[in-house]
Structure 1
């Protein structure tokens, strides 16, 4: 037996493998799977940058209606209130001098007011209202007894006149939904120097008029 060299044996194996691949059509299949080009695609070239043009600063477009008007000046200016003669100003009270009534003084004022109420003419509904800080130095809001309001006062907001012992009249705003006096009550309270602990007798002498005794 003639021994073949390694090189002859290798060539024979290559030929056999090549023939076997041709029989199976593997050569054409391998070529079809290869990319069309092994080299990477070149990146697209960016277009050259054009230098900016020297632009001039142009004035903003303005409406033809205001183009000839002077530019506005934004600064704080004093506001002049109109119709000052129609408004009534009261000097702010010094709340550091508030009067705080003791329980004894408050009860004494209520007793005297109820005694006065009992001597009023019959046929005119009345009630006693003790004063608190909110009535005389705070928000100047006077809430009235709800049952009295529902029975005797208008069902909508109206002007209610308060007449003191000297016959002076003070118009106030009665708020029906809140059952109390708002605008105008402050003027009455300051004019009569009401303080915490005072007691007032309200007697309804007309539909929207009270006679008030301090």
Structure 2
């Protein structure tokens, strides 16, 4: 009798399991899961891959204008170590003549500041001591008193948006040395020492 009950229980369990399997198969078919699984096993058609590459290229080229393929880099100037040192020396001489009441620092230009990523990192100690602790607009004033607003990113301690326009407008190149003089809380007077002069 006990053996017969166990046999019935096993049979009912097996029937229940088969019923569940059939229900799951129907659910998967209603959701098109077998076709989806099959499509994942086969590689995408070449035309689809080309479309994806075109879209990726469009985002890089037109998204933020960062694609260097479309930027004319033929006019890049690479400063020699001697020319770079000379520009820094001239900048230090000019810096020593400026009013001491306004804090200053010298920033030698690199390709990434003038033709590449257009990001200008500022000295950490200077930022901690004199610049705002949150993102602000900082104005750069050139020697002709023309003003250029830039975005100062406090956490990254550097100039972002607006710096590119300033660098291009002033034809900055690798090796130029800039003196930044903080004349107001959010204003720098910028003196440019050209590497090729």
TM-score with structure 2 length normalisation?
0.61
Residues 1:108 and 2:86 are matched in the alignment: yes
Residues 1:159 and 2:140 are matched in the alignment: no
Query: Which residue among 144, 149, 160 is the counterpart of 1:171?
Result: 149
4+ long deviations beyond 4 Å: none
Instruction: Give the unaligned 5+ runs of structure 2.
Output: 1-69, 193-197
Q: Secondary structure at the match of 1:116?
A: helix
Counterparts of residues 108-187 of structure 1 (less than 5 Å): 108-187=86-165
Q: How much does 1:93 deviate?
A: 4.5
Instruction: Give the unaligned 5+ runs of structure 1.
Output: 1-91
Hey, what does 1:76 align to over in structure 2?
none
RMSD: 0.8
User: Using CA pairs below 8 Å that are at least 6 residues apart, which structure has the higher relative contact order?
Assistant: 2
Aligned residues: 123
Cα distance 1:192–1:93, how it changes in 2: closer, same or farther (>3 A)?
farther
Per-residue displacement from partner, 1:80-107 (whole Å, max 9, x unpaired)? xxxxxxxxxxxx6521221100000000
- Cα distance in 1, alignment partners of residues 150 and 75 from structure 2: 26
Which one has a bigger Cα radius of gyration? Answer: 1
Hey, what does 1:97 align to over in structure 2?
75
Residues 1:207 and 2:185 are matched in the alignment: yes
